[in-house]
Amino acid sequence: MKLQAATKRDLSIAGAGILATTFFVSSDGGGQNPFYVLLWMLLLALVAGVVSFIMARLIPTLPLAVTATAIITDLLFLIYFMCSVAFRGHADPHLAEAYLLIPIVFTIVTAPLVGLSSLGIGRIANRYFYARADGDDSVDTRTLTQ
């Protein structure tokens, strides 16, 4: 299977987001292993890619699909963190307040991953779902053909 040049470019955009976030998290002075961080970033990119693929199917305009993907993906992660904080028993009431800062930091740190992954995968999904009949896939924003 040979990938098209546009698909390679879009995968490299998504990969750049993954690597940028991995290097940012592993070089923050915490001494984290970059390979361990990379595994978590790949998991987060998988979630962002699935949401991006679904949004590209539902929304035919690429910028709107990418924006919706970023918002929905961040909201999914925020809901996960908030539920984990809410359902965990805390002996210290101030500890729960400290845990509430985790989603904010997480959203800021993973912004390159979510943004670039949703852009790259969204462009691939947009070409897949809304390819023209004449084979010209140079335009990323197309109307739904039925």
Q: What are phi and psi of 61, to 5 degrees?
A: -90, 125
Dist CA 123 CA 120 (whole Å): 5
Q: What is the pLDDT of residues 31-70, one digit of tens each?
A: 778 888 899 999 999 999 999 999 999 998 989 999 999 9
Q: Does residue 142 have a pLDDT over 60? A: no
Domain boundaries, the chain: 5-129
Higher-pLDDT residue of 74 and 141 is: 74
Q: Does residue 131 have a pLDDT over 70? A: yes
Amino acid (1-letter code) at residue 77: F
- Percent of the chain whose predicted confidence (pLDDT) is above 90: 32
Q: Encoding tokens for residue 102?
A: 């985790």
- Computed over every residue of the chain, the mean pLDDT equals 82
- Specify the pTM: 0.77
